[in-house]
Structure 1
Amino acid sequence: MTRLTLTLTLTAAILRRKLLQALTCGGCSLSPSRQKKPQVAIATFKPVSKSDRLGQLILDDPSESGSDGDDMEVQLSHSHTGKKSEQELEEFHRVVSMLHPDGNANADCRPEAALEIRRMAKEDADARETLAMLGAIPPLIGMLDAHLDLDLDSQITPLYALLNLAIGNDMNKAAIVEAGAVHKMLGLIRPESPPEVYNPLSEAIVANFLSLSALDANKQIIGSSGAVPFLIKSLRQNKNCRLDALRALFNLSIVAANSQHLIEAGIIDTLLTAIGDMEVTDHALATLSNLVASSAEARQHLSRANDSIPILIDVLGWTDAPSCQEKSAYILMVMAHKSHADRAAMCEAGISGALLELTLIGTPLAQKRASRILEMMRSKKGKEISESSFAVSAPMAMEGKGKAKVEEVAGEMSDEKIAVKQLVQQSLHCNMRRIARRANLPEEIMPVEHLNKVLAVSSTSKSLPF
């Protein structure tokens, strides 16, 4: 029995080896004499026999491929994923149905459903989209009615549920505003409420306004809704949400149509007061930049505000806050470009030294803006002197006294220019010494001649490229 088994095993091994040789070598014969002759034609047109099929099956050993197991695993995975998605969808349907008071659940379940939606939408973008498509937004906004007898948590929960639904989803942002959420939120604000009620509600509402105002289509709607005074009040009084309120105001200031609402609510004075607090100064200057660039009324209010020019000039010296320097330089550049009175106020406040320092040790953008302000102040002054000379000489010439008076005025202007030039040179020397000491540099490293080259930047454009 053992010999028979061994014989069958050897026979099978030999057969397998021969079949493999036949498959790999093109059907060569078992005879040694025939192996010397190429069998190209026979190998090319050799029909597939049962032995070749057996060899193919031997080569395709399922125990080595493992493909059947992988397919089964993929099928099980897809089945599990589909089942999980169906379960999640059913859960979403159940929670949204709890928000409707005329559904299977009563109104007492709505705060619980809002809390569940807040949890689901917090970190899941697909859940936000699905819940909105199932109709979660309108009933959540319906819970914001001021006449509803709900406790503080039941009022705050739908606010944060709406906030989470709007995260990173512009469609939901637009749908929330279109459903009337802005006026409902403002209706919840009651100044007579105690701080423990007013502050948490206002913080949740400010967070929603910040999120909703990020969408361009919502900016003008929120700006004209009466939300601006509430945001300014929150900026002034509530330390927990003042940065969010300021960022929301910045979003609204991007749209020029909101400038009037912002100015009437007193935003200029509020922003000037905020400058100096490093937590909010950068955003305050950014908002102010938007206002002065788009509104002449904003520039007028800023010019009339107490100490506005000195405050902005002081920011130019904040070497540890380069972003604030750039924004302050932009505001001053716009004001200097638009108004002679503002340029005169800047000169009286001593802006030249700060600008000279900024052209040397500021960021590239701050240097460009500071140089542009200095250029405008010099060119505008020369132009105004020329216009003043012409305005004085023309009537006098008409009266027959023109020639002598023109020569006299021209002589006076010449003397004035000489005096101004001397004063400028003295100021340059003093400022250079002070700047060198401040930067801990030898004075000879930055000679006045180099500074004159910096200030001699020429430009024929009256626009503000920086």
Structure 2
Amino acid sequence: MAKCHRNNVGSVVLDHRHPAKNAATAGHFRWNSISASSIRRIVLDAVSCGTSRYGYHQRHDDDDEGSSSAATSTASLASGSRRENRPDQKTEKLADLLNLTGCENEAEAKKKEEALVELKQVVKDLQQGEDLAKRRMAATTVRSLAKERSEVRGTLAMLGAIPPLVGMLDSEDVHSQIASLYALLNLGIGNDANKAAIVKVGAVHKMLKLIESPDATNSSVSEAIVANFLGLSALDSNKPIIGSSGAIPFLVRTLQDLDYECSHQAKQDALRALYNLSIFPTNSSFILETELVPFLVSSIGDMEVSERVLVILSNLVPTPEGRKAISAVKDSIFILVDVLNWTDSPECQEKASYILMIMAHKSYSDRQVMIEAGIGSSLLELTLLGSTLAQKRASRILECLRTDKGKQVSRSYGRGSLGADISAPIFSASPSFTKASGGGGKGYLEEEEEEEDTMSEEKKAVKQLVQQSLQNNMRKIVKRANLRQDFVPSQHLASLTSSSTSKSLPF
């Protein structure tokens, strides 16, 4: 192929015809030995050789490209068909989902419409003033619908179900009263707007009217009213309205249950309702007008109600009247001091320490009663083993008691020095005095030294007792809390008995 593309046609001819001679002559040609026709034929052969080869290769390349392009086009068509099939499948699935969602939305919307129609019919039945049985059935339906579904409560209130239910409380039929009371109770569950609306339309006064009526002998009505007071008193804006309405004496009577007619659940509801009402400060005066405080103090010890009882007392003790009422109860401080030793109930310890802290901070006589009750050892143990809040409150009580002790020591020291100045004999510097002082004076000094030795022994004994108590308490701490062994109790005790005389109550 290389020879066919040479420009020297003669060399091609010579090399082809006379190879040996050409090698000897080294490129000298003889053109006369070749005819013109032979040259033309050779030239045509050479040209045709290159053209044929080029054409062959070109055709071969074209065939390869054609076959590859055909394969490529076939593959692209196949892939294109697959790609076209894939979007079709996705589109079909998406359409199915949209249709299914649309069907579900339509079914849900239809269901909601039916539910709304049912609620409208229930409210319409409540407003039927003539047919009492129909209204009672509608109230029962409201009770069942509003019990579990929170959205129904709001819808019924917007449709106007509350006023006719409150109006049913004026009925003389007990079953209608109970149905309306529990319907109102369920409408107010978790819905502050409904609670406010129920009080606004005068439900509280109608409930109290039912209780005060001479025919009110059904305990079921009373229990339903107590449950309503519990739910309505959870809203802050309702607390002063219920407290000033006269509901507190009724709740106290229910809690005391002197006639043994109320159920255990009604008593629990009354106690919780009184707790809600005691949070509002102005209700304290209404509570203190009843016999609630003595009953609460006597109830301490029942672990089922002790914590809530202590919370109510904690809400009353900040007022002077509340502190006076608690102090007036026999052995109230002794009972509260005993609560400090309830290691299995830290919440009760915290609340009892708060009550005692307020009383100790405000009243000297209460502090003296606490000392008589043996509060010192309980406080010492509480500062070491109690919760963080109980430890802080116990330390504040210790500060109040320590301040009183310091004042007593200073007063006794002042009185003793004053008496010594007044009654001290005036001796002259005579020899008789020197002699007397050598005898009687020496005995007087010896008595003083013996008294000091006796006092020091007492102090040593007290110190040893305190150290032993600290060591025992530290062993308990290590066992309960797994504290480090190098914990120094004396440093902690020193921090509790610091020289601060502040009596502020940050807790």
Scaled to the shorter chain, the TM-score interval is: 0.7 to 0.9
Kept after mapping to 2: 8 A contact 1:428/1:448: no
Quickly say closer, same or farther: Cα 1:94–1:465, change in 2 above 3 A.
same
> Which residue in the other structure is 1:24 paired with?
none
Deviation at 1:284, TM superposition (A): 0.3
Deviation at 1:60, TM superposition (A): 2.4
Aligned counterpart for 2:115 among listed residues 52, 65, 88: 88
CA–CA distance in 1 between the matches of 2:360 and 2:461?
21
Quickly say closer, same or farther: Cα 1:157–1:313, change in 2 above 3 A.
same
Please give the residue correspondences for 1:125-140 in structure 2 after superposition, counting only pairs within 5 Å. Answer: 125-140=150-165
Kept after mapping to 2: 8 A contact 1:144/1:155: yes
Kept after mapping to 2: 8 A contact 1:191/1:198: no
The residue type equivalent to 1:93 in the other structure is K
Deviation at 1:67, TM superposition (A): 1.1
Quickly say closer, same or farther: Cα 1:297–1:75, change in 2 above 3 A.
same
CA–CA distance in 2 between the matches of 1:66 and 1:423?
92
CA–CA distance in 2 between the matches of 1:61 and 1:107?
64
Deviation at 1:229, TM superposition (A): 0.5
Quickly say closer, same or farther: Cα 1:36–1:181, change in 2 above 3 A.
same
The residue type equivalent to 2:139 in the other structure is A
> Which residue in the other structure is 1:312 paired with?
336
Deviation at 1:455, TM superposition (A): 3.6
**Normalising to structure 2: TM-score of the pair?**
0.70
**Normalising to structure 1: TM-score of the pair?**
0.76
Kept after mapping to 2: 8 A contact 1:99/1:113: yes
CA–CA distance in 2 between the matches of 1:406 and 1:319?
54
Deviations 1:397-435 (A, max 9, x none): xxxx9994699xxxxxxx9x9899668536635755886
How many pairs align?
Answer: 403
Aligned counterpart for 2:197 among listed residues 175, 179, 195: 175
Please give the residue correspondences for 1:32-431 in structure 2 after superposition, counting only pairs within 5 Å. Answer: 33=65, 57-62=84-89, 65-102=92-129, 106-145=131-170, 148-151=171-174, 153-190=175-212, 197-237=217-257, 238=262, 239-293=264-318, 295-383=319-407, 404=421, 425=463, 428=466, 431=469
> Which residue in the other structure is 2:44 paired with?
none
Q: What do you get for the CA RMSD once the two structures are aligned? A: 3.9
Deviations 1:42-99 (A, max 9, x none): xxxxxxxxx9998975452247741111111111111111111111111011001111
The residue type equivalent to 1:173 in the other structure is K
CA–CA distance in 2 between the matches of 1:137 and 1:259?
31
Quickly say closer, same or farther: Cα 1:230–1:423, change in 2 above 3 A.
farther
1:465 aligns with 2:506: yes
The residue type equivalent to 2:159 in the other structure is L
Kept after mapping to 1: 8 A contact 2:403/2:501: no
Deviations 1:103-156 (A, max 9, x none): xx72221111110000000011100000001111111111112xx2203x3221
Quickly say closer, same or farther: Cα 1:54–1:262, change in 2 above 3 A.
same
The residue type equivalent to 2:311 in the other structure is A
Note the residue ranges of structure 1 that are not aligned, 5 or more in a row. 1-29, 38-50, 408-414
Deviations 1:410-464 (A, max 9, x none): xxxxx9x9899668536635755886899898xx999874674354245454221
Deviation at 1:36, TM superposition (A): 11
- Per mean C-alpha deviation after superposition, the further-off stretch among 361-370 and 228-237 is 361-370
> Which residue in the other structure is 2:16 paired with?
none
The residue type equivalent to 1:317 in the other structure is N
Deviation at 1:192, TM superposition (A): 6.2
Kept after mapping to 1: 8 A contact 2:398/2:497: no
Kept after mapping to 2: 8 A contact 1:114/1:157: yes
The residue type equivalent to 1:264 in the other structure is E
Kept after mapping to 2: 8 A contact 1:203/1:241: yes
CA–CA distance in 2 between the matches of 1:339 and 1:370?
16
Deviations 1:309-360 (A, max 9, x none): 0010111111111111111011001110111111111011111111112122
Q: In percent, how many aligned pairs have the same letter?
A: 47
CA–CA distance in 1 between the matches of 2:277 and 2:307?
16
Kept after mapping to 2: 8 A contact 1:228/1:249: yes
Kept after mapping to 2: 8 A contact 1:121/1:165: yes
CA–CA distance in 2 between the matches of 1:319 and 1:53?
80
Deviations 1:237-280 (A, max 9, x none): 13332121111111111111111001011221121021111111
- Structure 1 or 2, whichever has the larger Rg, is 2
Kept after mapping to 2: 8 A contact 1:122/1:164: yes
Kept after mapping to 1: 8 A contact 2:248/2:274: yes
CA–CA distance in 2 between the matches of 1:188 and 1:31?
108
Kept after mapping to 2: 8 A contact 1:111/1:157: yes
The residue type equivalent to 1:453 in the other structure is A
The residue type equivalent to 2:186 in the other structure is N
CA–CA distance in 1 between the matches of 2:285 and 2:67?
100
Quickly say closer, same or farther: Cα 1:110–1:31, change in 2 above 3 A.
farther
Aligned counterpart for 2:497 among listed residues 452, 456, 461: 456
> Which residue in the other structure is 1:412 paired with?
none
CA–CA distance in 1 between the matches of 2:83 and 2:359?
87
- Per mean C-alpha deviation after superposition, the further-off stretch among 126-135 and 362-371 is 362-371
What is the SS of the residue equivalent to 2:321? helix
What is the SS of the residue equivalent to 2:218? helix
